């Protein structure tokens, strides 16, 4: 299995609400014409929004309604101050703050928000990693 | 917030067991020297393994021990038959089958495995998407 990943699917209870958050709130653009599943092309991978019930059924797992299963996703910013800007944007879009940004032990600056379905996003500035113009993240500084 | 994502963190209960699965079993290579958190450079993003307790504390969320929170990740194969090969490899490495591969309504071939911590991975062949040499996924065929 090559060392890569293609797609992250976020199961949501209300697809219209989730689209308002990611599209109207964060400014993302849906890349497919279908209405029942929404694909967002990110650099190198795709993020999908799908109803949580359909996702659980597709994966043959039981859904207990939990909002944390040990998975978080992160958006790394290009600058220190962009962390607060993104958290502010996410809250204005209908997200909630899980942790306000703070200077962290590994030398960065990081906070967390939850999207309307409770999916935890870290927003972090890591001076030891680099993000190229296309948005691809590389371990190590540029 | 740019339309991108930097990092996916999988919280695990036993970091040594998780490393055996991803490194010895799947053949992935850790990219950082620290022992308490493991970073794997994927094309464009990083996958991290960290203890689940530390991750929950970092994100300020309560961990109920759930294995499904509405998030799945997917590995898209380059060929139809690679789906079964990857599922077989994941099982040999200590994963479990959630769903054997089957032809699916959207024209692809897909199954799911769970890693030793229950994180659900879809393994899918999607003839409508392309994967370049570097492993970057693009919506639409090449």
A56 touches B: beta carbon within 8 Å? yes
pTM of the model: 0.96
- The reported pLDDT for the residue numbered B140 is 83
Three-state DSSP class for residue B9: strand
The DSSP annotation for chain A comes to --S---EEEEEES-HHHHHIIIIIIT------S-SSSEEEE-SSSEEEEEEHHHHHHHHT------S-SSEEEEEE-SSTTHHHHHHHHHHHTT-EEEEEEEE-TTS-EEEEEE-TT--EEEEEE-TTEEE-TT--EEEB--
- What is the fold of A71-133? 2,3-Dihydroxybiphenyl 1,2-Dioxygenase; domain 1 (3.10.180)
Answer CATH for B1-61 from 3.40.50.620, 3.10.180.10, 1.10.10.60, 3.30.70.2740: 3.10.180.10
Span(s) in chain A for CATH 3.10.180.10: 1-62, 71-133
Which among A56, A135, A138 has the least Cβ separation from residue B68? A56
Cβ contacts of B99-103, under 8 Å, gap ≥ 24: B99/A58, B99/A59, B99/A60
The yes-or-no verdict on residue B141 having pLDDT over 80 is no
CB atoms within 10 A of CB A100: 13
Q: Domain B71-129: which topology? A: 2,3-Dihydroxybiphenyl 1,2-Dioxygenase; domain 1 (3.10.180)
Instruction: Report domain A1-62's class.
Output: alpha beta
Chain B residues in contact with A11 (beta carbon < 8 A) = 70-72
Question: Which DSSP category does B37 fall into?
Answer: S
Residues A68-111 have pLDDT tens digits of 999 999 999 999 999 999 999 999 999 999 999 999 988 999 99
Please, which residues bridge with residue A28 across strands?
none
Question: What is the helix (H) or strand (E) element at residue B59, kind and residue range?
Answer: helix B52-59
Give the one of A46, A66, A135 whose C-beta lies nearest to B69's C-beta: A66
d(CA B124, CA A136): 23
Q: Measured between CB atoms, which of A39, A62, A90 is closest to B139? A: A39
Taking alpha carbons only, the member of B60, B74, B121 closest to residue A46 is B74
- Summarised one tens digit per residue, pLDDT across range B104-134 is 988 999 999 999 999 999 999 999 999 999 9
Q: A41, B71: Cβ pair inside 8 Å?
A: no
- Provide ipTM, 2 decimals: 0.96
pLDDT band at A142; cut points 50, 70, 90: low
Chain position carrying tokens 């989730």: A18
Is B5 in contact with A45 (Cβ distance < 8 A)?
A: yes
């Amino acid at each position: 299995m090559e060392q890569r990943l293609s797609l992250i699917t976020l199961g949501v209870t209300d697809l219209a609400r989730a689209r308002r958050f990611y599209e109207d709130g964060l400014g993302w653009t849906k890349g497919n014409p279908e209405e029942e599943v929404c694909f967002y092309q990110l650099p190198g991978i795709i993020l999908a929004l799908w109803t949580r019930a359909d996702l659980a059924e597709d994966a043959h797992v039981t859904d207990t309604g939990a909002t944390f299963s040990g998975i978080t996703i992160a958006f790394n910013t290009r600058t220190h101050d962009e962390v607060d800007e993104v958290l502010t944007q996410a809250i204005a879009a209908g997200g909630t703050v899980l942790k306000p940004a703070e200077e962290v032990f590994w030398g960065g600056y990081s906070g967390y928000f939850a999207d309307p379905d409770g999916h935890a996003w870290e927003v972090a500035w890591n001076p030891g990693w680099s993000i190229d113009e296309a948005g691809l993240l590389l371990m190590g500084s540029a």
